[in-house]
Amino acid sequence: MLVDLFDYALPVDAIAQEPRPRGTSKLLVVDPASGAIEDRTFADFPSQLRPGDLLVRNDARVIPARLLGRREGRAVEIFLLADEGSGAWTALARPGRRAKPGDAIDFPEGERARVLEVLPDGKRRVRFDPPLTPERLAAIGHVPLPPYIRRPDDPRDRDWYQTVYARSDGAVAAPTAGLHFTAAILEEIAVRGVEVADVTLLVGSGTFKPVTVPDADAHVMDRERVRIPKETVDAIARARARGGRIVAVGTTVTRALEAWALAGETDFTTDLFIRPGFEFRAVDALLTNFHLPRSTLLMLVSAFAGRELVLAAYAEALRQGYRFYSYGDAMFVTGRRPATEPPAEPPAR
């Protein structure tokens, strides 16, 4: 499938650099069954749910993964990816020439890491001695804002770039569809007879990995850790029994649930790449933000709602002044694409 099918023009000023106040974003409601596209606000989201539905969230908590250090007086950025235990981490380093095996990198507060090895994909293994505690990491780390947010992080990002229900540490990017929720909105959802359950998908830096091949089928996803609690498995069974929808809060929940439905495992890693042609087994409705052109996230949403409808919705969102990407506005897809939708064709040249 050609990556060009998922391209669209996005003005730079449509990329949100800061969020709207939590709970006040715009919400585009898209119905694949009728093709209707409706402009609402996120305060209306609870009314889009039905008694008996199950809302599934990603409770991943973002760690302050960007560390700004120095090697022999020169700046080095270390981006932590995975905690290996005993003080060792898998990380990215920039510039790489200042992070060679044996190099020591110094950080604020007297913290030091030593580069253990360079991995085949260019990542580094580094070790902190003594190991970094969550408190020490919080003291020296920076919020890992996406590259399209063109400003340094500031203290407010520690709240902004975290969902109100985050609790499972280890993500290096936020499950951004969840950033819109407030405690009051979640309370209203519960009052409407909608059950809420959590999964954990520890979002990695691969969520921003560009698709560099012309054929999407040749793209390889990075693996991410998934945990599906038994309580959530039971909640899904109850929702199915009562005829409710499984409503995923974001593409990360969608990948987690669909990977679970395929593999039957509840604690695993996945590199599942959802794109048009994928047969959904778990998710019935999807809340999501607006994603980058030519990205795997846009392909996932297109697989769920239909490529032509999604691109039409994106065009309408731009006309209506919606803001895009992590700190942007939201879209709610009320159901899956019709099974009879024709296959995507390349755009006219």
What size, in residues, is the chain? 349
What pLDDT does residue 206 have? Answer: 84
In terms of DSSP bridges, do strands 267-270 and 285-289 run parallel, antiparallel, or are they unpaired?
unpaired
Q: Evaluate the CA torsion angle 159, 163, 164, 168 in order and state its sign.
A: negative
What pLDDT does residue 343 have? Answer: 47
What pLDDT does residue 338 have? Answer: 85
Q: What is d(CA 118, CA 133) in angstroms, rounded to the nearest whole number? A: 24
Contacts of 25 (CB under 8 A, 6+ apart): 19, 41, 42, 180, 323, 328, 329, 330
What pLDDT does residue 162 have? Answer: 98
Integer CA distances (angstroms), 112 to 49, 118, 137, in order: 49, 18, 12
What pLDDT does residue 339 have? Answer: 73
Q: Which residues pair with 225 in a beta bridge?
A: 269
Closest of 57, 260, 84 to residue 170, by C-alpha:
84
Each residue's pLDDT tens digit, 303-345: 999 999 999 999 999 999 999 999 999 999 999 998 765 445 4
Class of domain 3-62+158-333: alpha beta
What pLDDT does residue 347 have? Answer: 39
In terms of DSSP bridges, do strands 330-333 and 66-71 run parallel, antiparallel, or are they unpaired?
unpaired
- For the record, the structure tokens of 47 come out as 């009314």
Low-confidence stretches of the chain (pLDDT beneath 50): 342-343, 345-349
The answer to whether 167 touches 199, Cβ cutoff 8 Å, is no
Global pTM reads: 0.94
Place of tokens 């509840």: 266
In the chain, where the domains are located: 3-62+158-333, 66-142
- The fold of the 66-142 domain, in CATH, is Thrombin, subunit H (2.40.10)
- Is the N-terminal amide bond of 64 cis, ω within 30° of 0? no
What pLDDT does residue 45 have? Answer: 98
Q: What is d(CA 297, CA 328) in angstroms, rounded to the nearest whole number? A: 15
Radius of gyration from C-alpha coordinates of the chain: 21
The answer to whether 250 touches 290, Cβ cutoff 8 Å, is no
Coil, helix or strand for 300?
Answer: helix
Coil, helix or strand for 205?
Answer: helix
How many angstroms from the chain centroid is the CA of residue 85?
A: 25
- For the record, the structure tokens of 4 come out as 């060009």
The answer to whether 301 touches 27, Cβ cutoff 8 Å, is no
Q: What is d(CA 298, CA 276) in angstroms, rounded to the nearest whole number? A: 10
